[in-house]
Amino acid sequence: MKALQVMKPFEMALIDVAEPVITKPTDVLVQTEYVGICGSDMHIYHGSNPLATLPRVPGHEVAGRVVEVGEAVQALKAGDKVVVEPIRYCGECYACRKGQPNVCKNLSVFGVHEDGGMRERFVVTEKQLHKVADNTPLEEAVLIEPYTIGAQAVYRGELQAGDTLLIQGAGPIGICILKLAKLMDARVMISDLDAAKLAYAKELGADEIVNVKEQNLLEAVDKWTDGEGVNVSIDAVCIPLTFKQSMDVVSAAGRVVVLSFGEEAVELAPLPITKNELTIKGSRLQTFQFEKVVKLVDAGKLQQQGLITHTFSLQQAQEAFQFIEKNPNEVRKVILKVGGSNA
């Protein structure tokens, strides 16, 4: 069967690999139907993802169909539509015992630490799969994993109805955060450098948009919140400037959520943190968000609404990666169509 492998930075190829087989009673064999290309996949392609080793088959945003199940599998059967929860964890370390398996000491992420979904078929354990409704299009289901990233970010920010939220960055993750926040009846401001991305965010329900090329973000937040500051600030841009601004715009008793993997130091004064009793949290992957998000997608409450802008075949994968690099202003989300079904 075929698999897309990143062999070394900026070099990938469609290779022949052995057919995966069920070896454990809880194993499930899955046919990949769609797989999304994430920013972390681009970093794997560039050789700049600090968590991935090469060679690697990327892809953690995966929707597919069950082909075969192990003898102990109870909730799934051949033909079921499924999405992949891309984390494996030990269940024994402090983080796992505390209910945060997404930061397990021995965490392994499908498509990052181990080969992922940019291949025709794969085997994972039943607990890593979530069934979606028969009438949910797989082209919608492929966005469930990115939605869980948005759900985790608002969960970490303890967002509540009526709260004010600033999202820095109107890319795919920023849009996923926006969608989840609006379902919670929060008031949302979103900032970006790209007018088209901001216009799209406005179409999806953003209460306020800020083009930081034309407006001062701190002044815009001050005006929008009548000087209070936002209750929650989520940094989906992930550069030192946006992290610093997240601290500057948040209200007393506010929460700052950071998604960055950047290692560059940021200088912060402790007084505002103490004086305003701010909460600063990282947000990585997700903890137990899949069930909730699957229900929202199955119910039609979360729909892609133009978030997917381009679809390529697995055979066109290298072209897809290069297209993303060359056309950043045209791309929202690119997916690869691997299997033959879109129902």
Could you write out the DSSP letters of every residue in 14-57?
Answer: EEE-PPP---STTEEEEEEEEEEEPHHHHHHHHT--TT--SSB-
Residue 128: how many CB atoms within 10 A of its CB?
A: 18
Which phi and psi angles does 141 have, rounded to 5°? -65, -30
Instruction: Determine whether domain 150-282 maps to CATH 3.90.180.10.
Output: yes
pLDDT tens figures, 165-181: 999 999 999 999 999 99
Query: Distance (Å, rounded) from C-alpha 183 to C-alpha 99?
Result: 25
Query: Distance (Å, rounded) from C-alpha 67 to C-alpha 77?
Result: 8
The CA-atom distances, in angstroms, between 318 and each of 7, 170, 223 are 12, 25, 45
Q: Residue 8: its pLDDT value, please? A: 96
Assigned CATH topology for domain 2-143+304-337:
Quinone Oxidoreductase; Chain A, domain 1 (3.90.180)
| pLDDT > 90? residue 3 | yes
| pLDDT > 70? residue 277 | yes
Query: Distance (Å, rounded) from C-alpha 286 to C-alpha 84?
Result: 12
Domain ranges (residues) in the chain: 2-143+304-337, 150-282
3 state SS of 306: coil
Q: Residue 342: its pLDDT value, please? A: 47
The CA-atom distances, in angstroms, between 31 and each of 19, 28, 74, 268, 326 are 11, 10, 19, 48, 30
| pLDDT > 80? residue 77 | yes
Amino acid at 288: F
The two tokens of residue 59 are: 């892809």
Q: Residue 263: its pLDDT value, please? A: 85
Output the furthest CA–CA distance in the chain (Å, rounded): 61
pLDDT tens figures, 212-221: 999 999 999 9
pLDDT tens figures, 83-125: 999 999 999 999 999 999 999 999 999 999 999 999 999 999 9
| pLDDT > 60? residue 343 | no
| pLDDT > 90? residue 262 | no
Average pLDDT, the chain: 96
> Stretch 278-285: mean pLDDT, rounded?
97
**pTM of the full structure:** 0.96
Handedness of CA 90, 96, 102, 107 (dihedral sign): negative
